[in-house]
């Protein structure tokens, strides 16, 4: 394709500056040209037909005199600097028309291809007026992006021609993990963990310090009911105690090949990051020190342990852009590295694929050494496809074989998990919807038991 053809194609694709005929002009020209062509039946020469059609097109160019000039239209885009993955956000575009002519426009934004939106945006700006228009975007893939240009087409007075302009406007946008679970926990920890009540409040008697008075829920110790507040408020209220603060939590995030497996929304790594950030929020809120280590073949990110909610932002900025690597995870290397950077006893939370990890025999030796100083807990996502295959009706040979193999894989996993747990290495699997809740629940359970 020649350079001139490329430029023409760019204009048609809304990516260049210039003037284009509108659909109204094309329709009028076809009707006019057909009418003139019919006149040739009377013996009029074709030369006359071409001249008349040319004059018609030249007259339509007069309509451009009643269109605003490029300098008379200004645009300003307002877009959030941070977007949470999968959430809907609103982008605002201000259009200032300084000319004496009203203008109809069609607008496209230079968003990354992965962004989901309902563009082009259409509307009308009155003369010497300002219009504010909105559109919604959703970003399904984490990372750092630049939104560079705004592409605009606007019509003249009669709408026969469209002027096309490109506005340079650079905005930097970060797509971070979905923090909905973390926000829900920070707003109301009890409400977030409502369905885990029996587990998270199992606490050694006479241990911990008084935290707050809250509503009694099923599973609370009746001995901790605050009868004075119960009589005053006419509701059953209970005292809540919390364990000693200032413990060390180390979160390991696997970025290896298996973490790229697709789920209902995103992949394994996306859900793991969201769960890890929820645990981080819970630990920092409780006054604990949190460190984060992301790895695959090598260590990708290490954030040293600190406490305070300000540390949450440092962790978020360090891990929001993590991607799945094509290589297998090197568990022995990362566990060896962990022992060199984390000298104090801590709770090590490993987010990874349980099935893959169980077949990493070399990692067991390093974990036994790690277990001497640290408390280890691995959290993964259940393989729903495998579980669904175990529930198949064996109506034919193929289905029966699939069900048999799936059941065999689950039995092997259970046997291996039991072997690792006998070594003091706990492993938990949860559904993708409950991963964050399960991770926070086990963290609180360990803290309340004083195991660390």
CA 376 to chain centre: 28
Say if residues 428 and 435 touch (Cβ distance below 8 Å).
no
For 85-130, what is each residue's pLDDT tens digit?
A: 999 999 999 999 998 888 888 888 889 888 999 888 888 999 889 9
Say if residues 294 and 301 touch (Cβ distance below 8 Å).
yes
pLDDT at 203 > cutoff 50: no
What is the total residue count of the chain? 452
Q: d(Cα 174, Cα 229) in Å, to the nearest integer?
A: 47
Q: Which two tokens stand for residue 160?
A: 């026969």
Count CB atoms within 10 A of the CB of residue 188.
Answer: 11
Angle at 435 between CA 288 and CA 84, to 5 degrees: 80
157-165 mean pLDDT = 83
Where would I find the H helices in 188-287?
189-192, 197-200, 227-233, 268-285
Peptide bond connecting 300 to the previous residue in cis, omega within 30 degrees of 0:
no
179 closest CA partner among 311, 82, 81, 318 = 82
In this prediction, residue 197 carries a pLDDT of 46
**Torsion sign over Cα 223, 228, 231, 234:** negative
CATH class of this structure's domain 70-176: mainly beta
Q: Which two tokens stand for residue 168?
A: 């340079």
214 closest CA partner among 195, 191, 244, 243 = 191
Q: How far is CA 349 from CA 68, 166, 336, in A?
A: 61, 49, 15
Q: Which two tokens stand for residue 355?
A: 């099935």
| Res. 199 pLDDT band, cuts 50 70 90 | very low
Say if residues 256 and 329 touch (Cβ distance below 8 Å).
yes
351 closest CA partner among 255, 219, 450 = 255
Q: Which two tokens stand for residue 287?
A: 């006054």
Range among 53-57, 202-206, 319-323, 416-420 rated most confident: 319-323
pLDDT at 18 > cutoff 80: no
Q: How far is CA 311 from CA 281, 288, 289, in A?
A: 9, 11, 9
Q: Is 124 helix (H, G, I), strand (E, B) or coil?
A: strand
Give the max Cα distance, the chain: 111
The structural domains of the chain, with segments of one domain joined by +, span: 70-176, 243-449
In this predicted structure, which of 11-15, 21-25, 197-201, 206-210 has the lowest mean pLDDT? 197-201
Residue 393's contacts (CB-CB under 8 Å, 6 or more residues apart) are 399
140 closest CA partner among 264, 8, 254 = 264
In this prediction, residue 5 carries a pLDDT of 58
Q: To which residue do tokens 């040979």 refer?
A: 397
Q: Is 92 helix (H, G, I), strand (E, B) or coil?
A: strand
pLDDT at 450 > cutoff 80: no
Mean pLDDT of the chain: 84
102 closest CA partner among 50, 140, 159, 47 = 159
Count CB atoms within 10 A of the CB of residue 45.
Answer: 9
| Res. 200 pLDDT band, cuts 50 70 90 | very low
For 333-385, what is each residue's pLDDT tens digit?
A: 888 899 889 888 899 999 988 877 777 666 677 777 888 888 889 898 888 87
In this prediction, residue 205 carries a pLDDT of 43
What is the end-to-end Cα distance of the chain in Å, rounded? 68
DSSP string, 136-163: EEE--S-EEEEEEEEEEEEE-SSSSEEE
Q: d(Cα 287, Cα 305) in Å, to the nearest integer?
A: 12
* More confident position, 383 or 305: 305
Count CB atoms within 10 A of the CB of residue 192.
Answer: 21
Torsion of CA 59, 61, 66, 72, to 10 degrees: -170
* More confident position, 236 or 13: 236
Q: d(Cα 199, Cα 278) in Å, to the nearest integer?
A: 18
Architecture of domain 243-449: 3-Layer(aba) Sandwich (3.40)
For 242-284, what is each residue's pLDDT tens digit?
A: 656 688 999 999 998 888 888 888 889 999 999 999 999 999 9
* More confident position, 425 or 150: 150
Q: Read off the pTM.
A: 0.78
């Amino acid at each position: 394709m020649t350079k001139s053809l490329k430029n023409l194609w760019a204009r048609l694709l809304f990516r260049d500056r210039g003037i284009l005929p509108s659909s109204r002009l094309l329709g009028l020209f076809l009707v006019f040209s057909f009418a003139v062509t019919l006149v040739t039946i009377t013996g009029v020469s074709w030369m006359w037909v071409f001249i008349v059609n040319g004059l018609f097109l030249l007259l339509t160019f007069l309509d451009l005199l009643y269109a605003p000039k490029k300098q008379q239209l200004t645009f300003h885009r307002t877009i959030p600097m941070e977007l949470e993955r999968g959430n809907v956000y609103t982008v605002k575009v201000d259009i200032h028309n300084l000319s004496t002519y009203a203008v109809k426009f069609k607008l496209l934004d230079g968003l990354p291809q992965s962004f989901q939106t309902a563009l082009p945006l259409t509307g009308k700006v009155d003369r010497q007026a300002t219009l504010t228009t909105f559109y919604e975007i959703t970003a399904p893939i984490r990372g750092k992006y630049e939104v560079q240009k705004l592409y605009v087409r606007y019509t003249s007075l009669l709408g026969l021609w469209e002027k096309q302009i490109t506005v340079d406007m650079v905005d930097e946008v970060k797509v971070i993990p979905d923090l909905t679970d973390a926000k829900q926990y920070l707003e109301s920890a009890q409400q977030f963990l409502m369905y885990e009540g029996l587990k998270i409040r199992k606490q050694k008697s006479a241990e911990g310090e008084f935290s707050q008075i809250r509503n009694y829920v099923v599973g609370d110790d009746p001995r901790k009911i605050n009868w004075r507040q119960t009589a005053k408020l006419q509701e059953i209220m209970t005292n809540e105690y919390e364990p000693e603060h200032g413990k060390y939590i180390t979160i390991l995030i696997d970025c290896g090949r298996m973490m790229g497996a697709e789920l209902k929304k995103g992949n394994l790594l996306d859900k793991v990051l969201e769960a890890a950030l929820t645990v981080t929020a819970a630990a920092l809120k409780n006054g604990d020190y949190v460190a984060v280590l992301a790895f695959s073949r090598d260590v990708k990110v290490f954030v040293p342990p600190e406490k305070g909610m300000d540390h949450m932002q440092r962790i978020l900025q360090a891990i929001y852009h993590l991607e799945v690597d094509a290589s297998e995870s090197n568990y022995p290397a990362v566990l060896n590295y962990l022992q060199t950077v984390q000298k104090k006893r801590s709770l090590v939370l490993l987010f990874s694929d349980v099935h893959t990890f169980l077949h990493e025999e070399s990692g067991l030796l390093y974990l036994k050494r790690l277990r001497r100083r640290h408390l280890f807990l691995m959290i993964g996502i259940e393989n729903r496809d495998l579980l669904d295959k175990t529930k198949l009706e064996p109506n034919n040979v193929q289905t029966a074989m699939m069900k048999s193999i799936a059941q065999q894989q689950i039995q092997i996993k259970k046997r291996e998990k039991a072997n690792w747990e006998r070594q003091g290495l706990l492993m938990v699997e949860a559904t993708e919807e409950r991963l964050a809740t399960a991770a926070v629940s086990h963290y609180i359970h360990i803290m309340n038991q004083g195991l660390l």
